[in-house]
Amino acid sequence: MDVSTLEQRARAEGTPVIDGETATFVWRGRKPVSVHGDFQNWSGEPVPLKEVAPGLWAHTLTLPRDTYVEYALQDAKGRRVKDPLNARRVTNGFGDFNHFFYMPESQPTPLARVQRGVPRGTVTRHLVETKEFCVGKQRAVHLYAPPTSEPCPLVVVLDGPDYLRRTKLPTLVDNLIAQGRIRPIALAMVANAGSARTVEYTCSEATLGFLRYVLLPFAHKELNLVDETREPGAHAVLGASLGGLMSLYAGLREPRIFGHVLSQSGAFSVWERDFVVFNLARQAPVRPLQVWMDCGHFEELVECNERILPLLQASGHRAEYREYHGGHSYPAWRDNVWRGLEWLFGRSPGQ
């Protein structure tokens, strides 16, 4: 492709210019920029665009055709600059925005969109007393009651407000239920501790105590839930990154209650050390778990997810792992979380 055609396409189609398995970033300016993003796990040095014509800069990536990518452009001083040829932006969770794009065989899941004629559940916001199990005296919790009269399993969602707003989880669950792909489930979307999130999610017995002794009784009062004493392991914990770590820890420590685990990009090994979930995964379980894990192809966390999977399976847990072409982001988790929910709560024949 000659450079004039490249620039014309960039202005008409937006950047990057996508052809099959290639994505070409294009920048018009007197000075060059560099690109940083999911494709390098946001680590290392940003990749500089090269001058292909006077004042025209470009860089081409080769990516799988079903990839979702977030990226940022930076000037010579490392400052973020907007890509004027890509209006698609998403919050990065740290007070700034990333640009994003989908390769030809990837798209946002339609399950996250409100669909006409689908019964909708009810979302309510509550402040729950922490009873010294968590930072602060109260913790915000959003409850989702599905559109059904039957008792349901509860899915505790860590980083709840992010899953509520950025993955549209209640809408996604509404659609899965309406399509008969999962049994009705209820959600308890729990806010994190802000600056103390790392402390609360790194295999914390205090956090586990809050889920077990505070949140679960509260959810039973507000929602129509199945009785875990009659249906052991009925409930689930869902989380991403350190939230994924805490989800697996909760299941391994309280399998008779949280017998279902959905971990997205679980941070089971960070700071050059494995967390205790590796030791727990090696032990014969009191009750086998149902564990779904997924992780982005570009993440360093792939290694620890691949390493813990056979340990869980060898101990007798039913565990599944899926790697998708994306990075460490809520849009990627949104587009993949339905697979875990369907695997864990899919209706079997006769249900």
pLDDT of residue 351: 42
Q: Which ranges of the chain have pLDDT less than 70?
A: 1, 348-351
Kindly list the domain boundaries of the chain, sorted by start residue.
3-102, 110-345
Q: What pLDDT score was predicted for residue 349?
A: 39
Q: 350 — alpha (psi -120 to 50), left (phi > 0) or beta?
A: left
- Confidence at residue 104, expressed as pLDDT on a 0 to 100 scale: 97
Tell if the pTM clears 0.85, that is, is over it: yes
Taking residue 205's Cβ as centre, other Cβ atoms within 10 Å add up to 11
The angle subtended at Cα 245 by Cα 46 and Cα 314, nearest 5°, is 115
For the domain covering 3-102, report its CATH number.
2.60.40.10
Fold equal for 3-102 and 110-345: no
**Residue 233: what pLDDT?**
98
Q: Residue 308 burial by CB count (10 A; 0-12/13-18/19+): exposed, middle or buried?
A: buried
Q: How much is the pLDDT for 348? A: 54
> What does the alpha-carbon distance between residue 20 and residue 62 come to, in Å, rounded to a whole number?
9
| DSSP summary character for residue 152 | B
Under CATH, what is the fold of the domain 110-345? Rossmann fold (3.40.50)
Instruction: Specify the residue for token string 């996508």.
Output: 18
Q: Supply angle C-alpha 290, 295, 298, rounded to 5.
A: 165
